[in-house]
Amino acid sequence: MVESAPVVELAPVVELVETQASPAVGRLGAVGEWAGTLSLDVARRNGRSIAVRQHHDGALRILRPHYLDESGQVCYVVINPGGAYLGGDRYLIELDVAPGADLLLTTQSATKIYRTPNDRAEQHMRISLGAGSRLELLPDPLIAYREASYGQVTCVDMDPTASLVMAEVVTPGWSPDGGYFRYDEIRLRNEISIGGRLTVLDNLLIRPGSGSPVDGSAFMGACTHLGSLLVVDARVNSTLADDLHALLAPKDDGGRLGVTLLDGPGLALRALSRSTEQLNAMLGAAVDLLRKRWHGQEPLNLRKY
Amino acid sequence: MPAMPAAAPTYLLPLLQLSDSALPTGAFSHSLGLETSLHRGEVRDEATFADWLTQFIRIQLVHSDGLAIRLACEADTPAELFRVDRELHASALPREIREAGVKMGARMLDIALAVAPSPELQCYADAVASGDCAGHPALAYAVAGKSLGVPLAELLASYLFSAATSLTQNAIRGIPLGQNAGQRVLAAAHREVRDAVVRVQTLGREDFGVTAPGLEIAQMQHERQRARMFMS
């Protein structure tokens, strides 16, 4: 079988699922091959969530935990001291959220992908969510620069009673000529299994200027920035989807907002725009609505420094 | 000595029947996102529809339906086929696209069981009936075609062209477009479908279910469109 262009193939779905069962990193690659790894187990202790095990290696670090409110939700901030992902870099982040624990994971700054001349940069995340646990995965935007190729694979295995909210904003970096959209390829793949059954396979490919009709309406139209939000939670229903749509539609100036119900139950939200700010505002409003409705929490205010 | 008269391959007529765009799978009521583009005025005539169809073939038909057919043909066991079914269903994020796959999949299975019954097809139908599989027209078509011994390239080309024909018939009614204009778009799609057949055979597993944001958003937006001719 002839494989497509990238030199390093992301591991096939079936293999990724199989490796989740074993403690070894397995076929995703030997530990020594990672440019950075981060592993975090979060559990609930005395009413507050906290890391009960954490490990990092290479170019990934994590800041000390903090608590944004009295809910007991712990917030961890991932940092990449190198400041960017380079060609051939492969990063692994593993999260285990124990039953009843509550984790907000974010980043200190945007994830920047620079030129990857020979080999794309990759980030693999493996996430396990126990019964009644919650994960909000709210990274800063991904910025891909000229001639960058990037693959991101996030595999979530969650209990049916767990709650998952994950957001993503993808933006093109500026080229020296002042233009946008010069990266080669971005792949974002999210595999969400509930009780071991694959329920959501979110597989986006953005490949500007490669002969495909990428500027056509089916890809980005006249837009340059992509926002995405996935919510998998037993409380999602059509009323919530309608409420989110009503909240966000006025913020969508280009008419490029889609909200749909997933099996799960869950929902997916996609938006296209010409600015990071607009997408951050839309996704932020959606996250805040969920925080208030389900958890009685105040709007999120990540004090980053 | 006179040459032996050539017979048509035994798979040809069942294949023609199953790939007939008039096959009652309900395809005539699914625009798969096209109606949103009509509503937005992005698709309004022969040229803009031809462009939409090209994008749809290159994105959805290649990476979802087409690759599903190839993976189903490569599946050695029912479990591998069921895995393809699960991934195909899970990769359709817009609710109406998932529902279209389930509805048309059930119809295609019924028809294929009548036209070209086989133990493999019955096994897939049983898995759909029990809820282990979701069902999808591309997979019912692939399993039937595999049992009939249809070469992969012909199986892919006939399915993809049939899907393009159904969408063109919908565009003729929806835009509306003249019948001759529709036939011109389809003739121009021959090359796109041939390219798609090759492309499907070069893709990797990570390409399965790949979609593009604009198409996906159009498919999601259709749920909230007020006046609608189509179910998706």
Contact B214 A200 (CB under 8 A): no
Q: What is the mean pLDDT of chain B?
A: 95
Q: What is the DSSP string of B19-75?
A: T-TTSSSSGGG--TTHHHHHHTTS--SHHHHHHHHHHHIIIIIIIIIIHHHHHHHH-
Using a CB–CB cutoff of 8 Å, tell me whether A5 touches chain B.
no
Name the least confident of A20-29, A55-64, A193-202.
Answer: A20-29
Smallest Cα distance from A162 to chain B, Å: 19
pLDDT for position A254: 77
Does residue B8 form part of some domain? Answer: no
Residue A103 pLDDT exceeds 70: yes
Higher local confidence (pLDDT), A179 or A210 = A179
Residue B90 belongs to domain with CATH number = 1.10.4190.10
Looking at CA atoms only, how far is residue B7 from chain A in angstroms? Answer: 32
Closest residue on chain A to B53 (Cα): A218
Number of domains in chain B: 1
pLDDT digits (tens, 9 = 90+) for A253-296: 777 899 999 998 999 999 998 888 899 999 999 999 999 999 99
Q: Tokens 């170019």 — which residue?
A: A59
Q: What is the interface size between A and B, counted as CB pairs within 8 Å?
A: 126
**Residues of B contacting chain A (CB within 8 angstroms):** 37, 40, 42, 51-52, 54-56, 58-59, 63, 83, 86-87, 90-91, 93-96, 98, 201-221, 223-224
Amino acid identity at A20: Q
Q: Compare CB distances from B93 to A2, A260, A272 and report the shortest one's residue.
A: A260
Domain presence at residue B230: no
Give the residue numbers spanning the domain of B118. 35-219
Residues 231-270 of A with CB under 8 A from B: 245, 255-263, 268, 270
Q: How far is CA A117 from the centre of its chain?
A: 24
Helix H, strand E, coil C: the string for A17-63 is HHHHCCCCCHHHCCHHHCCEEEEEEEEEECCEEEEEEEEEEECCEEC
> Is there a contact between B210 and A203 if contact means CB atoms under 8 Å apart?
yes
Q: For residue B128, is it within any domain? A: yes
Contact call for residues B50 and B56 (beta carbons, < 8 A)? no
pLDDT at position A216: 58
Find the CB nearest A198 among B90, B206, B211.
Answer: B90
Residue B206: list chain A partners with CB under 8 A.
Answer: 4, 9-10, 12, 151, 187, 189, 203
Quick one: pLDDT at residue A29?
42
Q: Write down the pLDDT at residue A223.
A: 73
Q: Residue A213 has what pLDDT?
A: 42
Cβ distance of B93 and A202 shorter than 8 Å: yes
- Kindly state the helix (H) or strand (E) to which residue B145 belongs, with its residue range: helix B137-148
The CA distance from B55 to the nearest CA of chain A, in Å, is: 7
Q: pLDDT tens-digit profile of B147-195? A: 999 999 999 999 999 999 999 999 999 999 999 999 999 999 999 999 9
The tens digit of pLDDT for each residue in B38-93 reads: 999 999 999 999 999 999 999 999 999 999 999 999 999 999 999 999 999 999 99
Residue B27 lies in a domain: no
Q: Specify the pLDDT at position A207.
A: 77
Domain assignment present for residue B137? The answer is yes
pLDDT of residue B201 exceeding 50, the answer is: yes
Q: What is the pLDDT of residue A32?
A: 52
Determine the distance in angstroms separating the CA of B9 from the nearest CA of chain A, rounded to an integer.
Answer: 27
Please give the share of chain B, as a percent, with pLDDT higher than 90.
91
- Binary contact (B221, A272; C-beta < 8 A): no
| Residue A257, helix vs strand vs coil | strand
Q: Say whether A272 and B213 touch across the interface (CB within 8 A).
A: yes
pTM of the complete model: 0.90
Residue contact A263–B212, C-beta within 8 A: no
CB-closest option in A4, A219, A271 to B212: A219
A149-182 pLDDT tens trace: 999 999 999 999 999 999 999 988 876 666 666 7
Q: What is the pLDDT of residue A206?
A: 83
Work out whether strand A197-206 and strand A185-194 pair parallel, antiparallel, or are unpaired.
Answer: antiparallel
CB B63 within 8 A of CB B211: yes
**Which of B202, B217, B223 has the CB atom closest to A256's CB atom?**
B217
Give Cα separations from A6 to A92, A219, A283, B157 (angstroms): 19, 21, 31, 26
- Do residue B202 and residue A2 have CB atoms under 8 angstroms apart? yes
Q: So what's the pLDDT on residue A275?
A: 85
Phi, psi of A47 (to 5 degrees): 80, -5
Q: Do A258 and B217 touch (CB under 8 A)?
A: yes
A259, A267 contact by CB (below 8 A): yes
Could you give the strand order of the β-sheet that contains A48-58, starting from the edge strand earlier in sequence? A48-58, A36-45, A90-97, A121-129, A149-158, A185-194, A197-206
Res. A6 pLDDT band, cuts 50 70 90: very low
Q: Which of A124, A98, A120 is nearest to A19 (CA)?
A: A124
Q: Is pLDDT of A219 > 90? A: no
Average pLDDT score over chain A: 84
* Nearest by Cα to B100 from B50, B151, B51, B135: B135
Looking at residue A245, its pLDDT comes to 96
Contact A251, A285 (CB under 8 A): yes
When pLDDT is cut at 50, 70 and 90, the band that residue A31 belongs to is: very low
Confidence grade of residue A1 (pLDDT, cut at 50, 70, 90) = very low
Cα four-point dihedral sign B9, B11, B13, B19 = negative
- Residue A103 is encoded by which pair of tokens? 């984790």
Residue A202 in contact with partner chain B when CB distance is under 8 A:
yes
* Minimum-distance CB partner of B215 among A218, A226, A257: A218
- At residue A10, the pLDDT reads 33
Torsions phi, psi for A151 (to 5 deg): -125, 130
Query: How far is B1 from chain A, CA to nearest CA, in Å?
Result: 43
- Residue A182: the pLDDT is 73
Answer yes or no: is B18 within a domain: no
Nearest CB neighbour to B206, from listed A189, A223, A258? A189
Q: Which one of B40, B90, B223 has the shortest CB-CB distance to A260?
A: B223
| pLDDT tens readout for residues B116-143 | 999 999 999 999 999 999 999 999 999 9
